[in-house]
Amino acid sequence: MKIILWGINHKTAPVEMRERLAIASSELPEVTRQLLQSPGTAECMVLSTCNRVEFVTCHEDHEPDVLTFLKQHFDVDADTLQPHLYIYREHEAIRHLFRVASSLDSMIVGEPQILGQVKESFAVARSVGAVQSSLDKLLRMTFVVAKKVRTETQIGSSSVSIASTAVELAKHIFGSLEGKQVLLVGAGKMSELAARHLSQQGTAPILVANRTFDRAVQMAQRHGGHPIRFEDLYAQADKADIIITSTGSSEPVFRREHAQKMLHKRRGRPIFFVDIAVPRDVDPAVNKLDGVFLYDIDDLQSVAAAHLATRSKEAEKAEGIVTEEVEHFLQTLRTLDVVPAIVAMQKSFENTRQSEGRRMQAKLQSLSTEQRTAVESLTRGLMNKYLHQTVQALKLAAREGDAATIRTICEMFDVEPGGSAATPPASSPDALEANHPSEPGGEDDQLEAAIAGISKTETQD
C-alpha cells in the first residue's frame, strides 16, 4: 500500500485561499466518504483546521487525482490552486504527518490543539469506514511520536495557542488591555482559550455572543462576563474596543455596513477586529473604513515568529525525534513485508518434517507415546534452529531495505518475497499511545506473534 498526502496550509496559501477549502466539522464525514469513493483511494483521512486542509490517502497502483477531486468538491480552478498545493509521498508523507501532529508545522510551534484535531479527524475517518490496516498503523504511530515529542522536549512548556496569540496581538496594539472592553463572538474552543487569557489582562468583564445563547451564558459565567444574544449582536457590538471572532459561519458575520453603524455610534473611537476564524468572520472590506483596524489569522504570524525563536532549541530536539521515528517506522514496515516469506519458509520446512515423519512411521511404531513426543520435539527444535539464522538475515535485510539479499534468500527457499503484512487489531487513538515499538508489545513483538500465530495455524492444518 502506498501513501500520499496533499493539501495547503498557512505557509503555502493565504487565508482567502484556505477558507475556500475549509471544511466544517459537520461536513467532514461526508467529504471523507466522497474521497474514499474517488478512483484509486483505498483508505483516507481529511484534516481541516484554521491553518490547513490536508488529505491523507492510501492506494495500490494508481494515485487519486488530487486536482480533479478538489475541483469537483470545492469548485477551485486547478491553475489557481496548484501554486499553493503540496504533495508528499511515502516517507515524506509520513514525516509530514508526524510533524503536524507534533505541532512542528503549526503557526504556533508547540500549540497543543493540533494533536486533538488529528485524533478527531482519525475518529471520523474510522467511523465512515475509511481506515483499514495501513492508515491505522500509520496514525497509531503518529500519536506515539507526538506524545514522545511532548514528553521528551519542552516544546509545549508554556500554553501558547492561536487564541493566546490573538490576545497578545491585542495587547501589542493597545500597550495594555487594562479596562478595555472585549467582545468574543463564538463560544467554541478558541474563544474559551481567549477568555482565559483575557481574564489575566485586567480587561473589563468580557462580552460573549453565540448563536446558541446557553453556551454564551455558560462561558460568560465561567469568566465573570456578560452574555449577548446573537440577534442583539449588532446592537451591542459598538460597546467593544476589541472584537475577537471565532465562529463556524460560512459567511461573514461582520460586513462593511455593520462596521459603519458601529463607528457612528462610537463617535470616532476606533474598533479593532481580531478575526481568527477560517472561513473569515469579518469581510476584508471593513478594513478600508477609517477608524476600523482588522487583523486576520495570517496577521498573527509575526507574533508567532517570536514564540518560535524562544522554542528553537526544543524544536530542533523534536525534529530529531521525528527523523528517528520516521526511519524506525519505515524499518518496521519493511520488516512486516517479509512476514509472508518467513511463514512460507516455515510451512515448507514443516511440511518436509511431517512428510519425513510419516515415511519413518513404521520404524517408530515400537516407541512409547513419551518417546514419540520426544522425537517430535527434537525434529521441530532442529527445524527452528536451522531456520533461525535465515529468518534473522531476512528481517535484517528488510530493515535495511536490502532487496537483493531478500530476493536471494527467497530464491534459495523457493518462496515469494512480497505479500501483505499481518496487521494487529485496531484500537482507540488514546489506548494506542502506550504501545511504542521500542517497548515490550511493540512492532517487533507483533512481528514475532504474527509469525508464530500463522505458523501454528499452518502446522495444525
Continuous segment of H or E residues that includes residue 208: strand 207-210
Q: How big is the chain by its Cα radius of gyration, in Å? A: 29
CA distance 345 to 5: 36
Query: Cβ(351)–Cβ(380) under 8 Å?
Result: no
* Cα distances (Å, whole numbers) of residue 166 to 35, 184, 190, 297, 442: 34, 12, 10, 8, 41
The answer for 283, left when phi > 0, alpha when psi is -120 to 50, beta otherwise, is beta
Decide if 105 contacts 155 (C-beta within 8 A). Answer: no
Block residue for cell numbers 528488510: 398
For residue 59, give the 3-state DSSP assignment: strand
Active site residue 410: no
Place of cell 517479509: 338
Q: How far is CA 121 from CA 47, 88, 107, 327, 421, in A?
A: 6, 19, 19, 25, 25
CB-based contact 184:209 (threshold 8 Å): yes
Beta-bridged to residue 184, according to DSSP, are 208, 244
Residue that the C-alpha cell 515529542 belongs to: 149
- Which candidate, 103, 104, 139, places its Cα nearest to that of 119? 139
H or E stretch covering 220: helix 213-222
Residues annotated as catalytic (active site), given as ranges: 50
